[in-house]
Structure 1
């Protein structure tokens, strides 16, 4: 079997199982573990998977650029927003990051909801502008044109000045062993500070991001209190997260 054919089989296998071990692939493809490790490294270098100790996990399937993400999976974002809105009450201080699922949540805010929103997202800020009872505090710094959010040292430091009641955390990738990870270094540091300075953390994520991983660590899964997704919380994929003490909604 040629290398290209073997690597395609590895990617097809991973897309179905989300995680694979070198031992599994070695037996499945009848080649040595050394050959599999070389294949996984090549595929990881191309960004097609994330090589981890003993095997590999799938990367997030979500587009990187905001303009592509804002049109991606709109119906499921609405489902997630409808579930998550129940946690927001008048008088809270709420961190909201730059994810497009977070934006869908803001778009579902009742007109009379009274919050203080602290965000680094330009699109979130634009939506909040039209809500008369929501106070907006915007985190400054250098704008990332891929995410339409500020992402710099100034932004990272900014969130240390607050103690939020709730953090709405848009998740890029979540894996029961690898934790929550992101594509961009600065954005991952911002998320870390938001989590550390919040009393309660709500992770919002479509199920396609579950059991995937990216390059930059945000936090272990135990740091989030609730994971809101677009499918039933009884799905088998969430068993390990429930066992970690996370509420699935």
Structure 2
């Protein structure tokens, strides 16, 4: 089998399984592990997968631009929002990032909820404006048109001035070994800062983001307290996350 055909087969295999080991691919394709490692490195360099120790994981299938993400997988976002909502209580200070799943949670807020929301997301700010009992504190900075959020050093410094009771993260990718990762550098840095300045971290993730990885590191799994998904907690794909100590909903 030629290299091009072999690498195409690797990508097809990974699209079905989401993660794969070098040993599995070596046996599946009847080639050496060294050959597989070289293939995985080339494919990783092209951004088609993420090479990890002993194998590879798929990149997140989520669209990059906010306008495409806001209409993507709406029903599952609603499921995730309803699972996460009970964690929000009157009197809390809450960091909310610019993820569209986070936005779905804000859209489900009861009208009488009394919390303080601190965010860098323009869409989140617009929704909070209609909720009379929620105080909004908005992070200034350079606008990122891909995510409709503010970014840069001004935004990073802003979040260091607060300590939140809860941090709500609409994540790009999560992997039980590689942790939380992101597609955009600035957005990943903001998420990292939110985590560092929060007492309790809730990660919102559809099942298609689980066991995927992106370029920019956000945090290790141990920093997350709760992982909220659209699938049953008993699903086999969530087992490694429970073993890491996360509460999985």
Bucket of the pairwise TM-score, normalised by the shorter protein = over 0.9
For 2:95, what is the secondary structure of its paired residue? strand
For 1:146, what is the secondary structure of its paired residue? coil
For 1:161, what is the secondary structure of its paired residue? coil
> After the TM superposition, which of the residue ranges 12-21 and 162-171 deviates more from structure 2?
12-21
For residues 12-36 of structure 1, give each alpha carbon's deviation from its aligned partner in whole angstroms, at most 9, with x where no partner exists.
Answer: 2112222222222122111233322
* Aligned equivalents of 2:240, 2:53: Cα separation in 1: 20
* Aligned equivalents of 1:238, 1:179: Cα separation in 2: 13
* Aligned equivalents of 2:176, 2:54: Cα separation in 1: 16
Q: Which residue of 1 aligns with 2:166?
A: 166
* Aligned equivalents of 2:77, 2:176: Cα separation in 1: 22
* Aligned equivalents of 1:27, 1:235: Cα separation in 2: 27
Kindly state the Cα deviation for residue 55 of structure 1 after the two structures are TM-superposed: 1.8
Q: Which residue of 1 aligns with 2:83?
A: 83
* Aligned equivalents of 1:180, 1:168: Cα separation in 2: 13
* Aligned equivalents of 1:55, 1:233: Cα separation in 2: 26
* Aligned equivalents of 1:102, 1:141: Cα separation in 2: 20
Kindly state the Cα deviation for residue 44 of structure 1 after the two structures are TM-superposed: 1.3
Kindly state the Cα deviation for residue 49 of structure 1 after the two structures are TM-superposed: 0.3
Q: Which residue of 1 aligns with 2:125?
A: 125
Q: Which residue of 2 aligns with 1:100?
A: 100
Kindly state the Cα deviation for residue 56 of structure 1 after the two structures are TM-superposed: 1.1
Pair 1:57 & 2:57 matched: yes
Kindly state the Cα deviation for residue 163 of structure 1 after the two structures are TM-superposed: 0.7
Q: Which residue of 1 aligns with 2:243?
A: 243
* Aligned equivalents of 1:245, 1:12: Cα separation in 2: 32
TM-score, scaled relative to structure 2:
0.97
For 1:163, what is the secondary structure of its paired residue? coil
Kindly state the Cα deviation for residue 96 of structure 1 after the two structures are TM-superposed: 0.1
Q: Which residue of 1 aligns with 2:194?
A: 194
* Aligned equivalents of 1:227, 1:22: Cα separation in 2: 28
Number of matched pairs: 249
> After the TM superposition, which of the residue ranges 97-106 and 52-61 deviates more from structure 2?
52-61
TM-score, scaled relative to structure 1:
0.97
Q: Which residue of 2 aligns with 1:141?
A: 141
For 1:72, what is the secondary structure of its paired residue? coil
For residues 58-79 of structure 1, give each alpha carbon's deviation from its aligned partner in whole angstroms, at most 9, with x where no partner exists.
Answer: 1111011000100000000000
> After the TM superposition, which of the residue ranges 72-81 and 178-187 deviates more from structure 2?
178-187
* Aligned equivalents of 1:157, 1:116: Cα separation in 2: 19
* Aligned equivalents of 1:6, 1:151: Cα separation in 2: 41
Q: Which residue of 1 aligns with 2:229?
A: 229
Q: Which residue of 2 aligns with 1:48?
A: 48
* Aligned equivalents of 1:245, 1:56: Cα separation in 2: 23
